[in-house]
Amino acid sequence: MNDVRQPEREHELRLVPSPAEVSRARQFARYVLQERQIAPGRIATAELLVSELVTNAVKLTSTMKPGLPCGAASNDIQPIILRLRLAAGYLAIEVADSSEQPPVLRPQHPDSEEGRGLFLVESLSARWDYFRRNDGGKVVWCELDIAPGVSASDMTALLSSLPRRSRSSTRSARRLAAMTDPVLLRRVRDGLLALGSEEGPAK
């Protein structure tokens, strides 16, 4: 059973901005949460959230540049940093990248092929947001409830530790209400879990 009074624990992984790193990020999250004896269902959801946030970061900061040979990386590309913070029955997932481009939640339809990442983050997490880093780039974060019976004071303590973007910052799209169609959400989640189960062991 999870102890909601446990002190905050932080785990960090540095990733190369490459699609191949998404699998390693998921395996890292799975290992950390299994070690903390988090419920399997919550681990599966956390893996999906990690996968979507890291995938978005990779798309914006890919090591591949026009004119470079296949597999060649640019030396000026900064790493993506995945950070998992467990405290007070909540898991905070933070993904830092060097891109200044803010995350944009787009309208979704059952036949949508693009933009599902933030839709899933919006639907599966307790809340999400982003903030800009002082040294450039940004951090996109989300929270996942990993234990029942979390007190308001515990949740406030975790939320207060996450920086927020300033009110003066602009966002290119307004927040949209999460789609709550359980059949669609189940289909998307089952499909992504099936893809994850085909991944080989980490190298």
Nearest to 118 by CA among 172, 51, 164, 166: 51
> CA 107 → CA 54, 77, 144, 190, distances in Å?
21, 31, 22, 21
DSSP strand pairing (90-97 vs 127-132): unpaired
Q: Which regions of the chain are under pLDDT 50? A: 1-6, 64, 66-73, 149-151, 200-203
Q: What are the structure tokens assigned to 99, written together? A: 């891109």
- Per residue in 148-181, pLDDT (tens digit) is 544 455 556 666 666 666 655 555 555 555 566 6
Look at the block and give the residue holding tokens 């998992």: 84
**Locus of tokens 């999906």:** 48
Q: Taking phi first (over 0 means left), then psi (-120 to 50 degrees means alpha), and beta for anything else, what does residue 163 get?
A: beta
Output the pLDDT for position 146.
87
pLDDT of residue 1: 38
Query: Mind listing the domains of the chain with CATH numbers?
Result: 9-197 (3.30.565.10)
pTM exceeding the 0.75 threshold for the entire prediction: no
6: three-class secondary structure by DSSP = coil
